[in-house]
Amino acid sequence: MATDIEICSNALIMVGHGPIASFTDGGAGANTATALYATTYESVLSQHRWRFASAKVALSKLTATPQNEWSNAFQLPSNYIVATKVYPIVDYEIYEDKLYSNADSIDIDYIFKPDESKLPSYFQRLLEFNLASIFAIPVTDNSTKAEEYRKMAEDQLKRARFTDSQARPTDAIVDSPFIETRN
């Protein structure tokens, strides 16, 4: 059960800085973590359709008529990061915190920002490596260390995607004209 402070503290320890107890500790580590943590966390969440951070929701239709070519506007969830699928399959556009469409109702699958205490260990490690790669230069002025952690983050991303994909069974090919033709 990690917190944002523990995740940042782990990343700072990786680059050779001491741990922090809060974002208000002061110093290069806490200041860097304060400035870069939230955007890095959201960026890593947007890199994959993480099963642990996926949700489905029926969007609330807004009463005000949009001032553009769309006939309806819908409110996106407050924890929304990125849409992964829209139902029904219709044209739409997202502006700010709203989805615009001519459909009368919209359901979406989307990636949300879960509380850090809910993160699986494979994702927490990925986030820590990403943070270490980003923290290395402003905290230690060491670009070699930054590059090492960037590579570690890339490797961990592959492992994390594989592990996360196990939460959803693969679709079997039931019938394929290519296989039938070959026989």
Tell me the pLDDT of the chain (183 aa) as tens digits.
799 999 999 999 999 999 999 999 888 999 999 999 999 999 999 999 999 999 999 999 999 888 888 999 999 999 999 999 999 999 999 999 999 999 999 999 999 999 999 999 999 999 999 999 999 999 888 899 999 999 999 999 999 999 988 876 666 666 666 655 555
Q: What phi-psi label fits residue 92: left (phi over 0), alpha (psi between -120 and 50 degrees) or beta?
A: beta
Same-domain status, 65 and 103: yes
CA R_g for the chain: 21
| Angle 98-99-102 from CA coordinates, rounded to 5° | 135
Asked if residue 88 has a cis previous peptide bond (ω within 30° of 0), the answer is yes
CB 164, CB 52: distance < 8 Å: yes
Same-domain status, 55 and 106: yes
Same-domain status, 12 and 42: yes
In a domain, 182, yes or no: no
Query: Regarding beta strands 107-112 and 98-101, do their DSSP bridges make them parallel or antiparallel, or are they unpaired?
Result: unpaired
What pLDDT, on a 0 to 100 scale, did the predictor assign at position 26?
84
pLDDT tens digit string along 35-57? 999 999 999 999 999 999 999 99
**Rounded CA separation 72/87 (Å):** 15
In a domain, 180, yes or no: no
Helix (H) or strand (E) holding 150: helix 143-165
Which residue do the tokens 């930054």 mark?
A: 146
Which residue do the tokens 């492992």 mark?
A: 159
In a domain, 173, yes or no: no
Three-state DSSP class for residue 71? coil
Same-domain status, 64 and 108: yes
107 phi and psi angles, rounded to 5 deg? -115, 145
**For helices 27-45 and 121-140, what crossing angle results, to 10°?**
140
**Structural domain for 14, as ranges:** 4-48+115-164
**Total of domains in the chain:** 2
| pTM confidence score | 0.84
CB 135, CB 32: distance < 8 Å: yes
